Structure 1
Amino acid sequence: MAKDKGKPAEEAVEAAPKKGKGKLLIIIVAAVVLLGGGGGAAWYFLHGKKAGNEEQAKHAEPAKPPVFVKLEAFTVNLTADGEDHYLQTDIELKVADAKVSDVIKEHMPEIRNNVLLLLSSKTAGALSSMEGKQKLSNEIKEQVNKVLHAKDADGVSGVFFTSFVIQ
């Protein structure tokens, strides 16, 4: 009988390590699955999306280079603010495409007239600050788009001063 009592105790001792080994095996398998899944997800996000974006880029239109229209230099007397000043500036217009460039060239006398009138209405003080130049840039854009009966997207989207001298 003592031997019978001993056998269940031995089985209990032997059963405990087997149970622990099973849990350890499950933990290792779970870790491998999680690491493998994490690694696969990382690869997908780093390489899989890039491949998808490259595929989309192949079918998308290539970005069009910007089109600029250079206006002849402007030299105007500025509105008197106690002293005589003049402005000499070169202006380039950023347009949607070459078609807009052609339309600008067709309307060049009217555009130059409007820009000249606008420039000559300014004072040296108003144009000496960065804000004054940016405001003038926006006003020129509005004047040209008004002549073209266009909006920024299909007309002039930017006005750039390539030289700007006040004396």
Structure 2
Amino acid sequence: MAENDVPAEAPGKGKLKLIILLVLVVLLAVGLSIAGTFWFLNKGHPDAPQGNNVETVEIFVPNQYHVIEKPLVATIQDENRTRYAQIYLAFEAQDVAPLVATKKHLPLLRSRLLSVLGGQSFTGLQTVEGRNQLIDAMLASVNGVLEQEGAPPVAKVLFLNFVLQ
């Protein structure tokens, strides 16, 4: 009976230590893989900034628009008939200052744009090249007015709707 006097270990303690040890090893492996990934992504890349080398980052600034609510309607002569052109326009700029100036000088701009539109030929406006030439002429006219008034130029003149009749 002397053999039975030795207390036996509890059966759950050995398994609990093993589970805790395995959890710690898994957590350590996950942490090291995350740290290694960040290190390779940031330090291992040749374009990554190093030390005090600070690069300037360009910030994207979207263009802004001013839509002319009323359409430009002009008569266009075509051989023996009178034709009409109706155009809805918008101005595009990277800054607000040219658009504010276009709102301020809209009556003068509409007058100049109607003159440019009325001077076009009907057959020329039916082609893509003719419409592109009209856009260029309108842009030059608008920027000419804005230059006379001391305002910065607009980037583009856009057709929102273009109807020939």
Indicate the TM-score class for this superposition, using the shorter chain for normalisation.
0.5 to 0.7
Question: Unaligned regions of 5+ residues in structure 1, if any?
Answer: 1-42
Q: 1:134 — aligned with what?
A: 132
* 1:25-64 to 2 correspondences below 5 Å: 47-49=45-47, 51-52=48-49, 56=55, 59-64=56-61
Contact 1:81 1:123 in 2 (8 A): no
What is the TM-score of this pair, normalised by structure 1? 0.63
Q: 1:85 maps to which residue?
A: 83
How far apart are 1:61 and its partner, in Å? 4.1
Amino acid at match of 2:59: P
Residue type of the alignment partner of 2:63: P
Task: Point out 4+ residue stretches in structure 1 off by more than 3 angstroms.
Answer: none
Q: CA deviation at 1:89?
A: 1.0
Query: Structure 2: which amino acid aligns with 1:129?
Result: T
Gaps of 5+ in 2: 1-40
Give me the whole-angstrom Cα distance separating, in 2, the residues matched to 1:158 and 1:88: 19
Q: Which has the higher helix share?
A: 1
How far apart, CA to CA, are the structure 2 residues paired with 1:112 and 1:81? Answer: 26
Give 1:125's aligned residue. Answer: 123
The total of aligned residue pairs comes to 116
1:70 to 2:62 alignment: no
Tell me the SS of whatever aligns to 2:158. strand
SS in 2 for 1:141: helix
How much identity, in percent, do the aligned residues show?
Answer: 23
